[in-house]
Amino acid sequence: MDKIVRIDMGAEGGPQVRTESMGDYAGMGGRALTSSIISKEVPPTCHPLSAENKFVIAPGLLSGSAAAMSGRISVGCKSPLTGGIKEANSGGQPSQMLGRLGIAAIVLEGKPDGNDLYKVLINKDGVKIEADSSLCMLGNYDTVDKMKAEFGEKVACISIGQAGEQKLSGASVAFTDMEQRPTRHAGRGGVGAVMGSKGVKVIVVDDTDCSVRSPADPEKFKEANKTFVAGLRGHAVTGQGLPAYGTNVLQNVINEAGALPTHNFQWGRFEGCSKISGEAQAELENQRGGEGSATHGCHRGCVIRCSGTFYDKDGVYVTKQPEYETVWAHGSNCGIDDLDAIAKLDRMDDDFGLDTIEMGATIAVAMEAGLAKFGDAEAAIKLVGEVGKGSPLGKILGSGAAVTGQVLGVERIPVVKRQAMPAYDPRTVQGIGVTYATSTMGADHTAGYAVATNILGVGGSVDPLKPEGQVELSRNLQIATAAIDSTGMCLFIAFAILDQAETFQALIDLINGFTGAELTADDVTELGKKILSMERDFNQRAGFTAKDDRLPDYFKNEKFPPHNITFGVKDEDLDQVFNF
């Protein structure tokens, strides 16, 4: 990939496209590239929905190649939810296709006058931009259907739903999967609102007549890829648990650990857990059948295949297999134990273009405020429906848990930097609490997945209930994650590379075989540190201080059943996380 496509949506006379070489960004991909562009080119104090903010889409360094698991993509901007730098990650087909087109990044700049909504077509012949008012307030599914009808069955789409058009802070960006369904989302931080502020509804990607990217050293690349895949398939998590039960395999595990936030983070075990567990979900999906029901990949080249396809009792497609975070957010956290209801909520989130974590946390906050009762699935469905309607209540809910809690007068609001916490309580998984508190992205489990070591015993073992060792654990995982997010690799490869030295070396050999570089493990570590330092610098220039690297006080004061403990990592220790 050797070019950056910049689209100035605020140019005089209408949107203008220019294509440029990588320049100072040469050798970067994914998160390294999105964060570099945002850090260097966006004023940290600008309003996230202003013309000064930029919206960056960047496939990973290995995307478009034959490397297994290399189809992840990064979206970057200044976040309207957190007010800091944002990288949101997604699967789907567009990453591989942009890579084959030789595009390292798409950068949306400026802001159009008026209310026109645009569609963008990118193919081997260049970039075409056209206003299309027929797309206004369509959901992602209808938007993609219109693009398929216009551009054919082989394109991929990057789109926003009603939430992004309304510029709501819970809005996601949808990426189509192998079946051209908008089921893969860069969900966190309100990135869909920034795409909406640029007036772009959908970007259509067509890589017809483009070949797979060639490695610098084909033989080294081929051998490394073979070893890498063998390691993934040989690991208990990536080779057995995730393919069989999907990410929701964690529901029973985290519930048993007493770490499953229930009824808006009030306690750590959910009575209805067995009804919505990964095992129950896989059994239901296998019973109902249908193509890709219980095991499916989110992009071509995926060998873990932790996804699936959810059909209703009549065999009608509903959504992709709801992931662990979604089943927790709309299930356990809201007291709902009905997989069909959770699947419907997942479909609505995907269609409206909403982060399922943020929405589930928001609905739970609304339930605590009395807008609905915990466990009332129909009420939850109606509340999410308000966002699609664009009603005043919908605009509040679509703006996330922090805004909703503030408006409704709720004290227990589980956010850091105004971003909702995912499916692990920081009091019983204290390593993930350190990540929530200190990540540049706000509360985000993927930023440094300490659950792997705290609960699953991957990469060693650190007692999840004690503060000792958690800072070092989170620090090392945040560094590694920043680097992985830059390659286009799925984060789930971490399970194998943490446990298998040969698989980690195969990953490095894969990168070197493709790029022709001679990176070492230390070089990968330095890349992660460089990315985090850059992101921290942006946030500090935006006004963030050490006080923003904290959990809400109630996590330190309210004991969390069943272990009845509080978050024990001291503030002065949190301040040492980024002491590289």
| Alpha carbon distance 327, 276 (integer Å) | 7
What predicted TM-score, i.e. pTM, was given to this entire model? Answer: 0.97
- Half-sphere exposure at residue 359, Cβ-oriented, CA atoms within 13 angstroms: 34
Instruction: Give φ, ψ of 9 to 5 degrees.
Output: -75, -10
Give the CATH number of domain 3-205; options: 3.30.420.280, 3.40.50.150, 3.60.9.10, 3.60.20.10: 3.60.9.10
Query: Which amino acid does the sequence have at 261?
Result: P
Strand partners, 320: 309
Per residue, the 3-state secondary structure of 372-414, as one string, reads: CCCCCHHHHHHHHHHHHHCCHHHHHHCCCHHHHHHHHCCCCCC
The answer for residues whose C-beta is within 8 angstroms of residue 22's C-beta and 6 or more apart is 2, 3, 4, 28, 104
Identify the three-state secondary structure at position 354: strand
Which amino acid type is present at position 577?
Answer: V
What is the Cα–Cα distance from 321 to 295, expressed in whole angstroms?
Answer: 9
CB neighbour class for 223 (10 Å; exposed up to 12, middle 13-18, buried from 19)? middle
Identity at 469, one-letter amino acid code: G
Helix, strand, or coil here: 218?
helix
pLDDT at 453: 96
Q: Provide CATH code, domain 259-423.
A: 1.10.569.10
Length of the chain: 580
Structural domain spans, the chain: 3-205, 259-423
Provide the token pair at 512: 């070197």
State how far the Cα of 102 lies from the Cα of 104, in Å rounded to an integer.
6
The CA distance from 441 to 38, in Å, is 13
What is the pLDDT, as a whole number, of residue 218?
A: 96
Check residue 390 and give its pLDDT.
96
End-to-end Cα, the chain, rounded Å: 31
Sign of the dihedral through C-alpha 457, 262, 382, 286: positive
Sheet with strand 156-159: strands edge to edge: 126-131, 118-123, 200-205, 156-159, 173-175, 184-186
The span from the CA of 420 to the CA of 261, in Å, is 12
Structure token pair of residue 300 = 């071509």
Cβ count near 236 (within 10 Å): 13
Tokens of 264: 């808006």
Q: In a structure prediction context, what are the per-residue pLDDT tens digits for the chain, which is 580 residues long?
A: 789 999 999 999 999 999 999 999 999 999 999 999 999 999 999 999 999 999 999 999 999 999 999 999 999 999 999 999 999 999 999 999 999 999 999 999 999 998 899 999 999 999 999 999 999 999 999 999 999 999 999 999 999 999 999 999 999 999 999 999 999 999 999 999 999 999 999 999 999 999 999 999 999 999 999 999 999 999 999 998 888 888 999 999 999 999 999 999 999 999 999 999 999 999 999 899 888 776 777 777 788 888 889 999 999 999 999 999 999 999 999 999 999 999 999 999 999 999 999 999 999 999 999 999 999 999 999 999 999 999 999 999 999 999 999 999 999 999 999 999 999 999 999 999 999 999 999 999 999 999 999 999 999 999 999 999 999 999 999 999 999 999 999 989 999 999 999 999 999 999 999 999 999 999 999 999 999 999 999 999 999 999 999 999 999 999 999 999 999 999 999 999 999 8
**423: alpha, beta or left? (left if phi > 0; alpha if psi -120 to 50):** alpha
In the block, tokens 């994914």 appear at 30
Distance in angstroms (rounded) separating the CA atoms of residues 120 and 97: 15
| 340 φψ region: left (φ > 0), alpha (ψ -120 to 50), beta (else) | alpha
pLDDT of residue 241: 85
Alpha carbon distance 412, 266 (integer Å): 9
Q: Please give the pLDDT value at position 358.
A: 98
What pLDDT was estimated at residue 460? 94
CB 562 within 8 A of CB 269: yes
Output b/e per residue, 95-116; b: 16+ Cβ within 10 A: bbbbbbbbbbbbbbbbbbeeeb
**Residues 6 or more apart in contact with residue 495 via CB below 8 angstroms:** 235, 237, 238, 452, 456, 458
Q: Cis omega before residue 562 (within 30°)?
A: yes
Give the separation between CA 270 and CA 329, rounded to whole angstroms: 12
